């Protein structure tokens, strides 16, 4: 094989730049892994082309930028409701922005920054449903929720202990079952339910019951003991509200769902 002198010089230059880390290509720099949901429209969604969208995704990108990471240096990793603590404990992700409610049980395993959003548990019903108007009505019904979520636990322990609860891995599985009348209702945060109801493919099919069954304060999960990161993220969240980005993200992502949200909450975790 004949290699021109110019070609050889170029090849060597590339090698040297790569080895010394001098190339300013983003691929050379370390990435920031962030855990998000992949299947919650309006919150955390991996769209068919691979693009990510949603309120949590916008919040994650904002925080990343404040930490010095441009969008091309973010690696979004899928988290499920049941594995968020593990993903942090095993260093699979740096932080989690995934409709992740702050509570004492979780705080025994991870730390949170925030909260940055307040949602309430509600029910999603087929438009034709008339028999479910309050939580107790669920006691004779089949309900879908997600393993490891506060929604499933609330139903089991207080809202409707006699309900038959089908627990699945992600909320999109509940939607399919509800659409096909395999079950009577699904339950989780109103912000999540509104996102599904507003999807084009679901237009006219579902309604929210409009019940406020709990307070769900979304925090950004970090590894337990990482107070430095927790403090930095809190600073980013405060700035996000102050400079109007929070309001913009809410409008951009929940506007279509006509979802009435709570105002930005006071930060209570860490400093």
Residue of minimal Cβ distance to ligand GLU: 149
Q: Does 83 bind ligand GLU (CB under 6 A)?
A: no
Q: Does 101 bind ligand GLU (CB under 6 A)?
A: yes
Q: Does 100 bind ligand GLU (CB under 6 A)?
A: yes
| Alpha carbon separation from 230 to 137, 225, 233, 264 (Å, rounded) | 41, 9, 5, 18
Of the two residues 193 and 267, which places its CB atom closer to ligand GLU in the complex?
193
CA torsion through residues 242, 198, 206, 142, sign: negative
Residue 99 · residue 146 · CB < 8 Å: no
Site stretch for ligand GLU (CB under 6 A), options 95-103, 177-185, 197-205, 259-267: 95-103
CA dist., res. 249 & res. 255, Å (int): 9
In the complex, the smallest distance separating the C-beta of residue 184 from ligand GLU, rounded to whole angstroms, is 19
In the complex, the smallest distance separating the C-beta of residue 109 from ligand GLU, rounded to whole angstroms, is 13
CA dist., res. 209 & res. 257, Å (int): 14
H helix and E strand count, the chain: 9, 13
Which residue in the set 58, 149, 186, 206 belongs to the binding site for ligand GLU (CB under 6 A)?
A: 149
Site stretch for ligand GLU (CB under 6 A), options 10-18, 147-155, 172-180, 237-245: 147-155
Count of beta carbons in the 10 Å neighbourhood of residue 4 = 8
Site string for ligand GLU, 25-64 (x = CB under 6 A): ----------------------------------------
Query: By three-state DSSP, how is residue 171 classified?
Result: helix
Chain positions contacting ligand GLU, by CB under 6 A: 81, 98-101, 146, 149-151, 188-189, 216
């Amino acid at each position: 094989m004949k290699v021109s002198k110019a070609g050889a010089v170029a090849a060597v230059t590339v090698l040297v730049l790569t080895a010394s880390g001098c190339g300013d290509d983003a691929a050379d720099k370390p990435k920031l892994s962030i855990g998000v949901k992949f299947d919650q429209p309006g919150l955390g969604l991996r769209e068919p082309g691979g693009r990510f969208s949603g309120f949590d995704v916008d919040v994650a990108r904002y925080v990343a930028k404040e930490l010095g990471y441009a969008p091309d240096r973010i690696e979004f990793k899928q988290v499920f409701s049941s594995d968020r603590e593990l993903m942090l404990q095993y260093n699979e992700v740096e932080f989690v922005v995934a409709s992740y409610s702050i509570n004492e049980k979780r705080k025994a395993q991870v730390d949170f920054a925030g909260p940055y959003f307040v949602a309430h548990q509600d029910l999603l019903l087929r438009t034709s449903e008339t028999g479910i108007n309050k939580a107790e009505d669920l006691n004779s019904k089949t309900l879908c929720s997600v393993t490891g979520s506060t929604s499933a636990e609330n139903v089991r322990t207080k809202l409707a202990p006699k309900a038959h609860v089908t627990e699945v891995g992600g909320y999109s599985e509940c939607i399919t079952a509800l659409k096909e009348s395999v079950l009577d209702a699904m339950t989780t945060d109103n912000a999540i339910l509104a996102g599904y109801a507003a999807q084009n493919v679901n237009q006219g099919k579902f309604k929210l019951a409009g019940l406020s069954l709990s307070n769900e304060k979304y925090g950004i999960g970090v590894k337990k003991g990482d107070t430095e990161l927790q403090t930095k993220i809190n600073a980013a969240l405060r700035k996000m509200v102050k400079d109007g980005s929070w309001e913009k993200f809410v409008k951009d992502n929940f506007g279509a769902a006509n979802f009435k949200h709570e105002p930005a909450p006071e930060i209570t975790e860490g400093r």
